[in-house]
Amino acid sequence: MSSSLNNKEEDPPTEHIFSVSELAFSLKKVVETTFSTLCVQGEVSGLHYHSSGHLYFSLKDPQAVLDAVFWKGAIRTKHLPLEEGMEIRCWAHLTTYPARSRYQIVVDHYTLAGQGALLKIIEERKQRLAREGLFSAQHKKALPFLPRQIGVITSPTGAVLRDILHRLMDRFPVPVVLWPVLVQGEGAAAQVAAAVRGFQTFPQQARPDVLIVARGGGSVEDLLPFNEEIVVRAVFESKIPVISAIGHETDTTLIDYVADVRAPTPTAAAELVVPVRRVLQSSLFTLFHQLGQALQRCSEGKQHRLRACTLPPAWRIMGLRSQELDRLTDRMMAQIRRILEQKRAMALPIFSRRLASWAPLLVHQQQIEQLDQRQKQAIRVFWEARQAVWSRAAELLEGASFQRLLERGFSLVQGAGGHLISSAIAARQEPALAIVFHDGICSVAPLKGNA
């Protein structure tokens, strides 16, 4: 019995016994006081936005993984949201999470780890938006030829606004509505997107016909707001045509792909949105001159067609017919004389031989000559009567001619193509009417409706 008691292992002596929570919070205090603010670089992994608004993720490299938390109060101040696989540089402090016996970093703020990482993010975002069709040419809207009003979204204090206004004044002055925004830094993307959407809410009469989103040149980080998805989607949803004029000619942002027109510089945007007034005035003068010549040619052509449609005077028509009638009358009379002469030539020898025995027939000869005279007289009377009928017909035709009808108060109505109009229904369908009077032509506009 005593032997078993002597072999029993005795507990090591302790000066103080810690509870689990005491030890955990002691370790937490040691860690937080030992490691102040740290700068840690790694790849974002396992992003999780909690319903509370906090962001949980991990930073990793090929050898290790470090848990991280980003409180919602700090998230609101960041203009670049975290994405999976993003290489970032965090300023944080190390702490522990006693409830799970883990250590983690609490991020105060972060930046991208180099320009290459930023360009990679922009390229991935560009490809994703392109797959959604935001950059498709079928969604592009045409710019107005001469806008009544132009909306400009830019900084009110930079040289960009002065350049745009100066170029517009030189080319063709039009009213400009400025929506002032930040063009770089935190909150710039949200302000630009709000400006684009804000112009859509203007009343129809006050709404600009075209928008210019502009800023000067800068680094990739300076132009970052114009690569944000919120700005790209606002421009895509705009019902007003948008011109992007971001940076210098070599600078390219995502808004350039979604805008309806991309200008290499803000000054070039002003040149794209309005024509040159002097050139436009010269072109209008040339067009007016050509229009006047075309109208003159059209009027002359219609007058020629009208004269072709007008009937000649009746005496001109009947004169040719009367001449033909005289010719036929002469031919007929000559034919009658030849027939009579032939008859006399045939009858004379017979009458001469039998004159002695046919003395009584002399009386008949005289009667024949009388009949011949009567026949000639009858023919003359007949043709004189026919000529009187033709003369009367000529007078009647002259009285019913087209020119006499116009002189008596009648008129001829023609359509825009020179064709005749015979009903009110047809007249109301014409854009313009021409009324022909005996002394000229008048152009009138038809009365529309049922009146």
pLDDT(76) > 70:
no
34 compared with 260, residue with greater pLDDT: 260
Specify the pLDDT at position 174.
Answer: 92
- The whole-number average pLDDT for the span 198-213 is 94
Query: CB-based contacts of 11: which residues, under 8 Å, 6+ apart?
Result: none
Is the CB of residue 209 less than 8 Å from the CB of residue 149?
yes
1 compared with 66, residue with greater pLDDT: 66
Mean pLDDT of the chain: 81
DSSP state of 98: G
Look-up: residue for tokens 């319903």?
51
Specify the pLDDT at position 334.
Answer: 87
Distance CA 156, CA 153 (A): 9
DSSP string, 141-196: -PPPSS-S-EEEEE-TTSHHHHHHHHHHHHH----EEEEE---SSTTHHHHHHHHH
pTM of the model: 0.49
Structure tokens belonging to residue 391? 């003369």
Structure tokens belonging to residue 26? 């002691």
| 246 alpha carbon, distance to own chain's centre | 26
Query: Element (H or E) spanning 377, and its range?
Result: helix 360-399
Question: Predicted confidence band at 2 (pLDDT cuts at 50, 70, 90)?
Answer: very low
According to DSSP, the β-strands at 65-70 and 55-60 are: antiparallel
- The whole-number average pLDDT for the span 61-75 is 82
Structure tokens belonging to residue 108? 């105060």
DSSP string, 318-337: HHHHHHHHHHHHHHHHHHHH
Q: Of 43-57, 67-81, 122-136, 329-343, give the lowest mean pLDDT range.
A: 67-81
Three-class DSSP category at 245:
strand
DSSP string, 33-65: HHS-EEEEEEEEEEEEE-TTS-EEEEEE-SS-E
- The whole-number average pLDDT for the span 321-340 is 83
